Amino acid sequence: MMLWRALALVLVLVLVFGHGAGGGKVADPQPGISDQDLWWGADQYDFAIVLRAAGLECFWHMAHKGEQFYLNYMVQWVTGVANDRHLAVTVNSPKGLLVGEAHEATGEIKFEAEETGFYQMCLSNFHNRFGSMQIFLNFGVYYEGLEETQKQKEEEEAKRKEDMKELNSTISTMEDSSVRLQSFVFHMWRHYNFARMRRGTDYYLLMSNSAYVTYWSAAQSAVILLSGYLQLLFLKRLFNTKPTTETEKPRC
């Protein structure tokens, strides 16, 4: 009996100390990566949202000091009675300071980030309190000083390798051309997104006008038929005569 108690005590101690040793601090699964890198995200986003009546939606995007921050938006369609296509858009810095605002149906906010952090973009539909609206968003960051930094590195590399000046010049030209081409492609992509927003807005406007014409045509047709029926009924009542009897004779 004492032997079984001793074995049980040893087993309990092993389980307790083993669990305590295994429950210590877990090593970082990704050493060398900061929280800022883990929350980096993509550089550009484009999507559409539906904002309810008198609603407010906010988004955050990471930007570093010196980067160009941009926000393009467009109201594609609006529903409700007495709707208003105006949209209130504000952009705040990581410290909460207002760095840009707009109050139109279509607009762009662009500035150079003066500090590193998450910039807040808020969209308010307080102009339209009786209907929702669909908004297309395109925002992100890009760095215009990349080409100058690349040129400085290439000049330093050319000084170190004077014996391969011609080869370095060729590589420098190719890199400059590739960086310039990448910048052009990026801005073309921005303009393409803006054109896509415009095309979507035109499509919804066309559908709205088509529905408007269809409903009004049906209503006018119903009014015409009803007025014709009433005119026929009125004319028929004019020629309605009563049969004459001995007691009831027509009067002059």
Mean pLDDT for the stretch of residues 136-165: 69
Mean pLDDT for the stretch of residues 41-59: 86
Mean pLDDT for the stretch of residues 245-252: 62
Pseudo-torsion of CA 32, 33, 35, 41, nearest 10°? 170
Query: Residue 165: left (phi > 0), alpha (psi -120 to 50), or beta?
Result: alpha
pLDDT tens per residue, range 96-146: 999 999 998 889 999 999 999 999 999 999 888 888 899 999 999 987 655
Compute the distance between CA of residue 26 and CA of residue 171 in angstroms, rounded to an integer.
47
154 residue type, one letter? E
* Contact between residue 93 and residue 117 where contact means Cβ atoms under 8 Å apart: yes
Compute the distance between CA of residue 21 and CA of residue 68 in angstroms, rounded to an integer.
50
Domain boundaries, the chain: 36-144, 145-229
pLDDT tens per residue, range 190-242: 788 777 777 777 777 888 888 888 899 999 999 999 998 888 888 887 776 66
Compute the distance between CA of residue 164 and CA of residue 154 in angstroms, rounded to an integer.
13
Output the pLDDT for position 145: 59
* Contact between residue 137 and residue 75 where contact means Cβ atoms under 8 Å apart: no
DSSP notation for 125-161: -TT-SS--EEEEEEEEEE-TTHHHHHHHHHHHHHHHT
Output the pLDDT for position 14: 47
Compute the distance between CA of residue 169 and CA of residue 163 in angstroms, rounded to an integer.
11
DSSP category for residue 178: H
> Could you tell me which CATH class the domain 36-144 is placed in?
mainly beta
Phi and psi angles of residue 143, each rounded to the nearest 5 degrees, phi first: -120, 115
Spell out the residues 6+ positions from residue 233 whose beta carbon is closer than 8 angstroms to its own: none
User: Which residue bears the tokens 């009067």?
Assistant: 251
Query: Would you say residue 36 has pLDDT above 80?
Result: no
Query: How many residues are there in the chain?
Result: 252
Taking CB atoms within 8 Å and a gap of at least 24, the contacts of 213-216 are none
Alpha carbon of residue 101 to chain centroid: 16
Split at pLDDT 50, 70, 90, the class of 161 is low
Query: Would you say residue 171 has pLDDT above 80?
Result: no
Compute the distance between CA of residue 66 and CA of residue 192 in angstroms, rounded to an integer.
25
How many angstroms separate the first and last alpha carbons of the chain?
Answer: 135
Residue of 138, 81, 82, 131 whose CA lies nearest to 106 = 138
pLDDT tens per residue, range 77-98: 888 765 778 899 999 999 999 9
